[in-house]
């Protein structure tokens, strides 16, 4: 199996459309079609059923996918091991994090780092999406969930507490909520993934049954900006609320852990190591 053809094959497995695979790989749809035809010709097998809803694997395609995943894993492992031997303080380091951590900590850390190491290029992916460090989608991740993969090295960056926050303008207009009142008469800003989780939604430990959801946001940074705009009450880690100049209404005390994660094969790479140290320092300031 040709590796270039295999990459296209795996992208099509994951995206199930030519357009999605092309977008994922940064090529045009015609290239995806040609690569797939080349792979099917080399294997003398039809790997996908073409349907109105997209591309679906055949039995032969499922066998090919298992082999392709093994190739991808081996290629990523080779890249990680070679990168781990690199002692240059230059080159690309890929960092993934949430937009709030990126804005408040990682971007300032990179600004300071580049004064000393201008040859290091940081590619920052700010999203709630969890990139795969084993597949070299990123070199460093800053996360609020601690992974249990034994190949990953995890470092604690911070443990914060959460609290209920609102702007001074909001509190002047609506007043503070009454404990035990389930936010009756109040506007609320909720983190959308929390709402989608199926769990009972609370803010600072208080059920929201009598409150009115004024806005949902898909990122913590947007929650913070919505609160600062006076849209409603919401829950934030205490340092993030303080950074925004918000007023703490109730303390809840739920721990909020932040972890820096990298793969064991790349953590000693010189440029990765100095970026790790810069980010860790930013969280300690």
Model pLDDT for residues 120-148, shown as the tens digit of each residue? 999 999 987 777 776 778 899 999 989 88
Tell me, yes or no, whether 42 and 168 share the same domain.
Answer: no
User: Can you tell me the distance from the alpha carbon of 133 to that of 50, in angstroms, rounded to the nearest whole number?
Assistant: 32
User: Can you tell me the distance from the alpha carbon of 30 to that of 28, in angstroms, rounded to the nearest whole number?
Assistant: 5
Tell me, yes or no, whether 7 and 54 share the same domain.
Answer: yes
Q: Which residues contact 209 (CB under 8 A, 6 or more apart)?
A: 182, 183
Mean pLDDT of the chain: 89
Can you list the positions of beta strands (E) in 171-246?
187-191, 202-203, 206-207, 212-217, 234-237
Give the mean model confidence (pLDDT) for residues 81-95: 75
User: Can you tell me the distance from the alpha carbon of 141 to that of 118, in angstroms, rounded to the nearest whole number?
Assistant: 21
pLDDT category of residue 71 using cuts at 50, 70 and 90: confident
Tell me, yes or no, whether 12 and 124 share the same domain.
Answer: no
Domain C-terminal end among 50, 84, 118 = 84
pLDDT for the residue 86: 57
Model pLDDT for residues 57-66, shown as the tens digit of each residue? 888 888 888 8
Tell me, yes or no, whether 74 and 164 share the same domain.
Answer: no
Q: How many structural domains compose the chain?
A: 2
Whichever domain contains 75, its CATH number is: 1.10.10.10
Tell me, yes or no, whether 154 and 252 share the same domain.
Answer: yes
Going by the DSSP 8-state scheme, the letter that residue 259 receives in this structure is E
Domain C-terminal end among 58, 84, 110 = 84
Give the mean model confidence (pLDDT) for residues 202-229: 95
pLDDT for the residue 181: 96
Tell me, yes or no, whether 73 and 162 share the same domain.
Answer: no
pTM over 0.85, yes/no: no
Tell me, yes or no, whether 51 and 95 share the same domain.
Answer: no
Whichever domain contains 145, its CATH number is: 3.40.190.290
Tell me, yes or no, whether 206 and 126 share the same domain.
Answer: yes
Going by the DSSP 8-state scheme, the letter that residue 105 receives in this structure is I
Going by the DSSP 8-state scheme, the letter that residue 181 receives in this structure is S
Tell me, yes or no, whether 124 and 78 share the same domain.
Answer: no
* CB contact at 8 A, 280 and 157: yes
Tell me, yes or no, whether 127 and 77 share the same domain.
Answer: no
How big is the CA angle at 39 (ends 37 and 45), to the nearest 5 degrees?
Answer: 85
Model pLDDT for residues 220-259, shown as the tens digit of each residue? 999 999 999 999 999 999 999 999 999 999 987 788 999 9
Maximum Cα interatomic distance, the chain, rounded to a whole number of Å: 72
Q: Domain range holding 118? A: 89-285
Tell me, yes or no, whether 72 and 20 share the same domain.
Answer: yes
pLDDT for the residue 40: 87
pLDDT for the residue 100: 93
Tell me, yes or no, whether 274 and 152 share the same domain.
Answer: yes
Model pLDDT for residues 89-129, shown as the tens digit of each residue? 888 999 999 999 999 999 999 999 999 999 999 999 998 77
pLDDT category of residue 263 using cuts at 50, 70 and 90: confident
């Amino acid at each position: 199996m040709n590796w270039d053809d295999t990459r296209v094959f795996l992208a099509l497995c994951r995206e199930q459309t030519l357009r999605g695979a092309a977008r994922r790989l940064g090529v045009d749809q015609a290239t995806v079609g040609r690569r797939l035809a080349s792979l099917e010709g080399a294997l003398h097998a039809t790997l996908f059923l073409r349907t109105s809803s997209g591309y679906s694997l055949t039995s032969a395609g499922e066998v090919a996918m298992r082999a392709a995943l093994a190739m991808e894993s081996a290629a990523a492992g080779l890249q990680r091991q070679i990168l781990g031997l690199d002692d240059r303080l230059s080159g690309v380091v890929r960092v993934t994090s949430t937009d709030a951590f990126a804005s408040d900590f990682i971007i300032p850390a990179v600004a300071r780092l580049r004064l000393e190491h201008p040859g290091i290029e940081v590619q920052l992916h700010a999203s709630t999406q969890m990139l795969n460090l084993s597949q070299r989608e990123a070199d460093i991740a800053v996360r609020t969930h601690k992974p249990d993969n034994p190949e990953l090295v995890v470092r604690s960056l911070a443990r914060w507490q959460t609290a209920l926050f609102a702007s001074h303008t909001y509190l002047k207009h609506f007043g503070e909520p009454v404990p035990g009142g389930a936010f009756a008469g109040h506007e609320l800003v909720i983190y959308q993934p929390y709402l989608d989780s199926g769990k009972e939604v609370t803010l600072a430990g208080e059920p929201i049954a009598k409150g009115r959801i004024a806005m949902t946001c898909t990122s913590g940074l947007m929650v913070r900006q919505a609160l600062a705009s006076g849209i409603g009450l919401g829950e934030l880690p205490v340092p993030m609320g303080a950074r925004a100049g918000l007023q703490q209404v109730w303390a809840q005390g739920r721990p909020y852990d932040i972890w820096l994660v990298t793969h064991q094969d790349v953590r000693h790479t010189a440029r990765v190591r100095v970026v790790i140290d810069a980010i860790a320092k930013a969280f300690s300031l």
